[in-house]
Structures are given as structure tokens and as C-alpha cells.
């Protein structure tokens, strides 16, 4: 059971690693480069961490 949870956790972290650049690009495209410089590591990274909420809702 522990191995299954570890694999699920690793899989989730891999999807977060893939989603982070995507959400950074999307944030820069929608809000502009200057806004991305100031908020680009906060908002998109949070969105990448909770990407299932953005995907399903």
C-alpha cells in the first residue's frame, strides 16, 4: 500500500513539474510580461500545485 501511495505522489509531482511552465506561459500570455515578472512565480506555481481544481472546474 505504501508503494502505491509513493507512486501516486511521484506521478502527481511529475504532473506539477509539467504544469508549472505551462501555467507560467499562460499567465504571461494573458497578463503581460511585466505582471509575470512580479507575480509569475507565485500565482502560476500555485495554479500548478492545484491543477486538478482548474482542470475539473
Structural domain spans, the chain: 2-56
DSSP string, the chain: -HHHHHHHHHHHHHHHHHHHHHHHHHHHHHH-HHHHHHHTTTHHHHHHHTHHHHHH-
Confidence at 52, pLDDT banded by 50, 70, 90: confident
**pLDDT averaged over the chain?**
88
Percent of the chain with pLDDT over 90: 37
Output the pLDDT for position 7: 96
> In this predicted model, what pLDDT tens digit does every residue of 9-26 receive, in sequence order?
999 999 999 988 998 999
Residues 52, 1: Cα–Cα separation, whole Å: 23
Output the pLDDT for position 56: 80
Amino acid at each position: 500500500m505504501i508503494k502505491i501511495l509513493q507512486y501516486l505522489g511521484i506521478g502527481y509531482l511529475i504532473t506539477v513539474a509539467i504544469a508549472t511552465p505551462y501555467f507560467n506561459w499562460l499567465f504571461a500570455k494573458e497578463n503581460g510580461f511585466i505582471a509575470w515578472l512580479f507575480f509569475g512565480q507565485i500565482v502560476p506555481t500555485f495554479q500548478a500545485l492545484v491543477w486538478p481544481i482548474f482542470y475539473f472546474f
